[in-house]
Amino acid sequence: MNTVQENLKQIQQEINIAAAKTGRNSEDITLLAVTKYVTIERTEEAVDAGIVDLGENRIEGFLEKQAAIGEKAVWHFIGSLQTRKVKDVINQVDYLHALDRLSLAKEIQKRAEKKIKCFVQINVSGEATKSGVSPEETLGFIQQLAGFPAIEVVGLMTMAPNTEKEDVLRSVFSGLRQLRDEVRAADMLHAPCTYLSMGMSNDYTIAIEEGATHIRVGSALVGPYK
């Protein structure tokens, strides 16, 4: 198994190439190490390699790793968050990537002790197995979030289909970018919506070419190992 440093070097080269293709600055792209399947030790290896942003989607693993690593990392909760679990995690996260319903927003408002930076999850592909707000409901949903002062909508997030068809992936990623632009054009104080969280180990270069600002890379970076 490669070291995280070795993997990071390869991924950073690919980020640079993908960014250059569209005239972007690679420094504007945040690499999240998705550490949900790896040990605390492997996660610490990622931090030691210079990775600042860590993504977790299971509360128990998130809290264990945060207790060990603490403020050396920026913490992203990237999985679906059950309403009843909000109290356990919301004040420990720096970013929440999966705000997808008003009931969750209400619970965040109830429990938050600080302003929570949220990505609204959009189901761009329309797959029944995926969570998220539909594209047609996105603007209206975000407008409703103005009633929850603890929430700041910093961007949109989506998960692409598990496919190698580049045209399908580009359609999903460009669709999220267009939605982001519509939200920004609405000029809402609670929703600056500058970021796009999209792209994973198998498709992050395409996501970057389509405008991703945050890519969520697990197996290609830290490995799918316990």
Check residue 1 and give its pLDDT. 74
pLDDT in tens, 7-40: 999 999 999 999 999 999 999 999 999 999 899 9
Check residue 224 and give its pLDDT. 72
176 pLDDT exceeds 60? Answer: yes
Where do the domains of the chain lie?
4-217
Percent of the chain with pLDDT over 90: 94
SS3 breakdown of the chain: % helix, strand, coil, rounded to 5?
Answer: 45, 20, 35
Percent of the chain with pLDDT over 70: 99
Pairwise CA distance, residues 207 & 180, whole Å: 14
Kindly write down the DSSP assignment for every residue of 165-204, as one continuous string: -HHHHHHHHHHHHHHHHHHHHT-BTTB---EEE---TTTH
- Fold classified for 4-217: TIM Barrel (3.20.20)
pLDDT in tens, 67-87: 999 999 999 999 899 999 999
Taking alpha carbons only, the member of 49, 58, 51, 53 closest to residue 74 is: 53
Check residue 95 and give its pLDDT. 98
**Do the beta carbons of residue 145 and residue 152 sit within 8 Å?**
no
Beta bridge partners of 197: 157, 214
Check residue 129 and give its pLDDT. 87
Check residue 213 and give its pLDDT. 98
Check residue 106 and give its pLDDT. 98
Please state the pTM of the whole predicted model: 0.96
The H or E element containing residue 74 is strand 74-77
pLDDT in tens, 132-149: 999 999 999 999 999 999
Pairwise CA distance, residues 54 & 162, whole Å: 22
131 pLDDT exceeds 80? Answer: yes
pLDDT in tens, 179-219: 999 999 999 999 999 999 999 999 999 999 999 999 999 99
Check residue 133 and give its pLDDT. 97
225: confidence class by pLDDT, cuts 50, 70, 90:
low
Check residue 69 and give its pLDDT. 97
Check residue 226 and give its pLDDT. 44
Kindly write down the DSSP assignment for every residue of 76-132, as one continuous string: EE-S---GGGHHHHTTT-SEEEEE--HHHHHHHHHH-SSPEEEEEEB-TT--TTS-S
Q: Which two tokens stand for residue 186?
A: 């609405």
